[in-house]
Structure 1
Amino acid sequence: MNATVMDLLHDNAAHAREFSSRFDDVQAGQHPEAVTVCCSDSRVLQDHVFGNDTPGRLFTCGNIGNRVIQHTDAGEVVSGDVLYPLVHTATRTAVVVGHTGCGAVTATYAALTDGVSEPPGIEHCIDLLAPHLEPGVDRLPDDLDADGAVNRLVEYNVDWQVDALLDSDDVPADTDVVGVVYDFQDVYDGERGEVHVVNVDGERDPETLREANPDAADRIDRLWTY
């Protein structure tokens, strides 16, 4: 095995020593507090974003573009890996986690504006995002550079994924759905690595959200409204 795998095994041994006693209460089943839908970007340490070191606390899904939908013969539906904890483990909080500088959003923006050539697997993921981001591209201010456009589309993508969960008949009606953006590029005001709430149950207006959630007012922010 190569050095990378050996390093992973070494780090896993340390993990096992630290966590061996933390699985006692979840060996027979799970009842996570929330399902998080994160981008699989290597810079987004999915559980660490929320300081999670408790097995069973979060049901974490990851894919490029933090997508909640998949294509089936029946059409576009909420992905099973997102839906599972909502249907089978009584989880009633879903958090869609976008991030600044998202490569999937960047590639989709390029596909919609310039055209790109990608391997079929990546092209499939872009095709899942493109129809829903295209209206956002049309709404972008004219004076933005590429980075500014992408980071606004990151918010737009989070908004759409939140709406997809809220609009699905498969998602229990009492599920709270929150959209956030994880910032490690100093795009928002705040500490590098903070998540910024941009959407709560479909509401996107920052002032409205701050009034409704005063305890989290300093964590609510957006780059644009539309």
Structure 2
Amino acid sequence: MDEFVTGLLAANADHAAQFDSRFDAVQDGQAPSAVTVCCSDSRVLQDAMWENTEPGQLFSCGNIGNRVIQDTASGPAVSGDVLYPIAHTGTETAIVVGHTGCGAVTAAYEDLTNGLDEPAGIEHSLGLLKPHLAPGVERLPEDLSREAAINRLVEYNVDRQIEHLRHSDDVPDAVTTIGVVYDFQDQYDGKRGEVHVINIDGEIDVDALQAAHPEIDDRIERLWEY
């Protein structure tokens, strides 16, 4: 057995010893307070970023590009992974978590500007991002570095995912939609690993967001108000 996998199994044994009784309250069902849609990048610690150690508290989804959109026979729709807790467990908060230096956003940017040759599965995933990112690429200021351009598109992508949630007939109006960026590259003010709120229910104006949510005004920050 691979040594790393052996280590994972040992860590899981410790986890099981600590968590045994914590599953009692969720044996027969779940009612998570929020669904989070994170990028599956290995640097994005989906539960650890919230210090979440309680089973049943968060419904965590992950994919490259933190997408809420999937293709169906009848056209684009909110992914079933994201929609399930909203439709079946009473969850009324959806959080889209982008991150600095996102590889999926980078690949979509490169494909839109220079073209890429990716395996079919990756190309399909990028194809769900590119139509929504293309207008953002066109709006980028010309004097930006490649890194700065990509991190602005990270915000733009989060905004588009929030927009899709808000415009979907499958998502009730009562659901609060929040867009954030997880920063491990010192792009925002604050410590590495902090989450910065960039969008609440479609509002992206920092001043308006801070006025409406003074309790978290120091966590509201954007790189790009386009």
The aligned counterpart of 1:83 is 83
CA shift for structure 1 position 27: 0.6
Please list the CA deviations of residues 43-87 of structure 1 after superposition, one character each: whole Å capped at 9, or x if unmatched: 001011111000000000000000001001000000001000000
Amino acid paired to 1:100: T
CA shift for structure 1 position 190: 0.6
The aligned counterpart of 2:55 is 55
Identity of aligned residues (%): 65
CA shift for structure 1 position 177: 0.2
Question: What TM-score does the superposition give when structure 2 sets the normalisation length?
Answer: 0.99
Amino acid paired to 2:182: Y
Amino acid paired to 1:160: R
Counterpart check, 1:130 vs 2:159: no
Q: Could you say what secondary structure the match of 1:20 adopts?
A: helix
The aligned counterpart of 2:223 is 223
The aligned counterpart of 2:33 is 33
Alignment of 1:70-149 (within 5 A): 70-149=70-149
Alignment of 1:144-223 (within 5 A): 144-223=144-223
Q: For the residues of structure 1 that align with 2:49 and 2:121, how far apart are their CA atoms? A: 27
Q: For the residues of structure 2 that align with 1:51 and 1:224, how far apart are their CA atoms? A: 28
Q: For the residues of structure 2 that align with 1:2 and 1:182, how far apart are their CA atoms? A: 31
Q: For the residues of structure 1 that align with 2:5 and 2:198, how far apart are their CA atoms? A: 38
Q: For the residues of structure 2 that align with 1:208 and 1:148, how far apart are their CA atoms? A: 24
CA shift for structure 1 position 3: 1.3
Question: What TM-score does the superposition give when structure 1 sets the normalisation length?
Answer: 0.99
Amino acid paired to 1:46: Q
Q: For the residues of structure 1 that align with 2:24 and 2:87, how far apart are their CA atoms? A: 24
Please list the CA deviations of residues 110-142 of structure 1 after superposition, one character each: whole Å capped at 9, or x if unmatched: 000010111111111100000000000000000
Q: For the residues of structure 1 that align with 2:119 and 2:6, how far apart are their CA atoms? A: 30
Q: Could you say what secondary structure the match of 1:22 adopts?
A: helix
Q: For the residues of structure 2 that align with 1:116 and 1:105, how far apart are their CA atoms? A: 13
Aligned Cα root-mean-square deviation (Å) = 0.5
Counterpart check, 1:69 vs 2:69: yes
Q: For the residues of structure 2 that align with 1:218 and 1:35, how far apart are their CA atoms? A: 23
Structure 1: 5+ residue runs without aligned partners? Answer: none
Q: For the residues of structure 2 that align with 1:174 and 1:87, how far apart are their CA atoms? A: 12
Structure 2: 5+ residue runs without aligned partners? Answer: none
Counterpart check, 1:46 vs 2:46: yes
